[in-house]
Amino acid sequence: MTQTLPPSSSLRAGVIGAGVFGGYHAKKYAELEGVTLVGVFDIDLSRAQALAEPLGANGFDDMDAFLAAVDVVTVATPAVHHAEAALKALKAGKPVYCEKPLAVTPEDADRMVAAAAKAGVPLACGHQERVVFQAMGLLDIPEQPLRLEAVRRGVPSDRNLDVSVVLDLMIHDIDLALALCEALPMTVDGEGGITRSTSLDWVKVEAMFENGFIAVFDSSRVAETRERTMKVVYPSGEVEIDFLTRAFRNTTPFPLIENFTETPAGKDPLGPSVAGFLAAVRGEAPRPVVTGEEAARALDLALAVEQAVEG
């Protein structure tokens, strides 16, 4: 049975991980109403304090003390440590918002989902592009898509090199494809390569789903220029979006929000994503924007992509 807190309660929030993403989440908790940032945990206490104290919170390097001080937890560590941190919080009965990817192995993802169910608390994942799709109205089109082509390329960076480009960048588009298509993926075929790290730096694959839907994912973190486009083909027309230039084309009969990038959710998808998690914790919403189960399915397909390319 899900545990909920009354709407009048001011939730005490804590962030595990004092890096860049931990900073985003800590500042978001400090901004939102009905929640108070009370702590940041990091194995480096000075880093935790440097992030927490300017926001009126405390830094922790003792996990038990940190968990005792908070009601809800965001996990924003490097991806390889997501499961360890989230499981500690879930076993302590704390609702968890975990940055993507949910975990790096399906076994860890399953353990996280099971721990949340046992504790009766929400487990959310930070696939924030889902918020953008909602703001656009794309999730409301009453047709199953026939084909999706997603390009997500970035220039070289030292960020997130602990995982492949599939778990770093492509998994965003994988989650969106799974949100649009009701069928399950059957086969994956493609190519990729390692150029500057110890894991895949660029990948291009095609996934076939049980209902004939085809999703083409093209991701790179070693491109010369940034590129972020998507094309979705429906029986009644097509939707094309360039997320960098904000160009938009819709030939379907279904109205979409063309200026979605100017909406509050389009400008700041993290805000509605975290707010949706808190609403689920309070019982004001039936679920967060992206559930642990959905994030686990995205991870499964992402790992199938890696296996198809590497195998």
DSSP three-state, residue 239: strand
Count the helices and strands in the chain (H runs, E runs): 11, 13
Rounded to whole angstroms, how far apart are CA atoms 175 and 299? 9
* Same-domain pairing of 19 and 118: yes
Domain assignment present for residue 212? The answer is yes
- Cβ atoms of 74 and 82 within 8 Å: the answer is no
Amino acid (one-letter) located at 283: G
Residue among 125, 141, 145 nearest 133 (CA): 141
For residue 1, being part of any structural domain is answered with: no
**What is the domain-level CATH number for residue 49?**
3.40.50.720
Cα distances (Å, whole numbers) of residue 249 to 16, 152, 231, 238? 40, 18, 9, 8
Do 31 and 48 share a structural domain?
yes
Q: From CA 115, how far away is CA 20, in angstroms rounded?
A: 27
Q: What is the pLDDT of residue 24?
A: 97
Judge if 140 and 156 occupy the same domain: yes
The count of domains in the chain is 2
What's the pLDDT score for residue 261? 84
Residues 106 and 178 reside in one and the same domain:
no
In a domain, 239, yes or no: yes
Instruction: Tell whether 296 is covered by a domain.
Output: no
Same-domain pairing of 41 and 150: no
> pLDDT at position 4, please?
46
Judgement on whether residues 18 and 88 belong to the same structural domain of the protein: yes
| 210 and 135 belong to one structural domain | yes
Q: Identify whether residues 255 and 279 lie together within a single domain.
A: no
Tokens of 170: 């492509």
Residues 112 and 194 in one domain: no
User: Are 74 and 134 found together in one domain?
Assistant: no
User: C-alpha distances in angstroms, 288 versus 121, 128, 154, 281?
Assistant: 11, 11, 28, 8
Task: Give the pLDDT means over successive 10-residue stretches in the chain (311 positions).
Answer: 52 97 97 96 98 98 98 97 98 98 97 98 96 94 97 88 92 97 96 93 98 98 96 98 91 93 89 97 97 98 96 72
CA distances to 23, 149, 152, 248, 263 from 229, rounded to whole Å, are 28, 8, 7, 10, 19
Q: Is residue 305 part of a domain?
A: no
Question: Is 199 among the domain residues?
Answer: yes
Task: Give me the domain span that covers residue 228.
Answer: 129-263
- Residue 4 inside a domain? The answer is no
Q: What is the pLDDT of residue 65?
A: 98
- Do 118 and 135 reside in the same domain of the chain? no
* Domain shared by 45 and 135, yes or no: no
Let me know: does 76 contact 15? Beta carbons within 8 Å.
yes
- Provide the CATH number for the domain around residue 168: 3.30.360.10
Full-model pTM? 0.93
